[in-house]
Amino acid sequence: MSAGSRRAWLAAVLNTTTSLVLLRADALRAQATPGFDHSHAAWTNLLRKHVRLVRGGQASQVSYAGFATDRAALRAYLDSLSAVTPATFAGWTTPERQAFLINAYNAFTVERVLTRYPDLKSIRDLGTLLASPWRPRWIPLLGSKVSLDDIEHAMLRKRGDYDDPRIHFAVNCASIGCPALREDAFVAARLDAQLDEQTLRFMGDRTRNRWNAARGRLELSKIFDWYGEDFRLGHRGIASLAAFAARHADALADTPSDRERIRSGRVDIAFIEYDWALNDVRAGDAR
């Protein structure tokens, strides 16, 4: 074999070896970082075990004691959320991103409660007079440490990304005053229907939203006071809180005349005090 032929042969061998090494490395990386499960099956399994619907599904209670026994499974799900890179997230569809963030908020909230359970009476007890329990950046998500407030306000409520006020009926702050923690995960394929269902559940809950016939006024959850601007963004053609309430008149009042008054949009609105007690399954309500 001539010197030139030998050099060509060696080069071919080296190229082949290098290609095999690179292919093997790619395979190992693929095994280490499998595709994200957009069905969020692990979260659904936990929710179905530990969330109890009450008042016909309008509200829910959470067995934090049950979640505590399944904490390894919860943390495995949280780790799968934390493993998603910003580049991967950016390549997803809008419903996939939105469902991911809602589920992340709810699952990390449960984990936050468990850090002080069973002594915790309210999620607000995790904070202080000067520090909100939602502001510490302890959550590893999308390449950095973020807070629950970051997920809700800087991501889900960021103008131009989703502009969907229904997220307020999907994220759960571990309190009785909150919309129900859903009994299954939010998933992209059914996200719109799930958000509609959460909205109807919450609006039909007379402990938190109702027409007060005696006072001739609409009484709504403080959520609408805190985030009223989100209901003026024109989602589905709705540009005011009164118009949003009008869309749900059937759930808010019993008589045709009261419903028509709500639909007119010319109503006084008052806001109901929020119940910050932990939405825990009571001992007397155990399944």
| Same domain (yes/no): 1, 121 | no
| Same domain (yes/no): 12, 37 | no
Looking at the structure of the chain, the number of domains it has is: 2
**If we measure between CA atoms, which residue out of 170, 149, 169, 152 comes closest to residue 161?**
152
32 pLDDT tier (thresholds 50, 70, 90): very low
| Same domain (yes/no): 37, 174 | yes
Q: What is the pLDDT of residue 282?
A: 72
Domain limits at 4?
1-32
Give how far Cα 173 sits from Cα of 93, 105, 107, 111, 124, Å: 26, 9, 10, 12, 10
230 pLDDT tier (thresholds 50, 70, 90): very high
| Same domain (yes/no): 95, 42 | yes
Look at residue 33 and tell me whether its pLDDT is greater than 50: no
In angstroms, rounded to a whole number, what is the distance separating the alpha carbons of residues 9 and 14? 9
Mean pLDDT within 165-177: 97
| Same domain (yes/no): 95, 19 | no
**If we measure between CA atoms, which residue out of 150, 89, 145, 132 comes closest to residue 276?**
132
| Same domain (yes/no): 11, 42 | no
Helix 41-50 / helix 71-82 crossing angle, nearest 10 deg: 150
Look at residue 5 and tell me whether its pLDDT is greater than 60: no
19 pLDDT tier (thresholds 50, 70, 90): very low
Q: What is the pLDDT of residue 129?
A: 79
| Same domain (yes/no): 25, 138 | no
- In single-letter form, the type of residue at position 34 comes to P
Name the more confident of 255 and 9: 255
Q: What is the pLDDT of residue 23?
A: 37
| Same domain (yes/no): 49, 178 | yes
| Same domain (yes/no): 18, 100 | no
Q: Calculate what percentage of the chain has a pLDDT beyond 70.
A: 86
| Same domain (yes/no): 193, 205 | yes
| Same domain (yes/no): 72, 210 | yes
Mean pLDDT within 232-257: 93
Per mean pLDDT, which range of 182-186, 191-195, 221-225, 234-238 is the poorest? 234-238
- Convert the pLDDT of each residue in 146-167 to its tens digit: 999 999 999 999 999 999 999 9
- Convert the pLDDT of each residue in 181-195 to its tens digit: 999 999 999 999 999
| Same domain (yes/no): 139, 25 | no
- Convert the pLDDT of each residue in 86-105 to its tens digit: 999 999 999 999 999 999 99
Contact partners, residue 109, CB within 8 Å, separation at least 6: 123, 148, 172, 173, 174
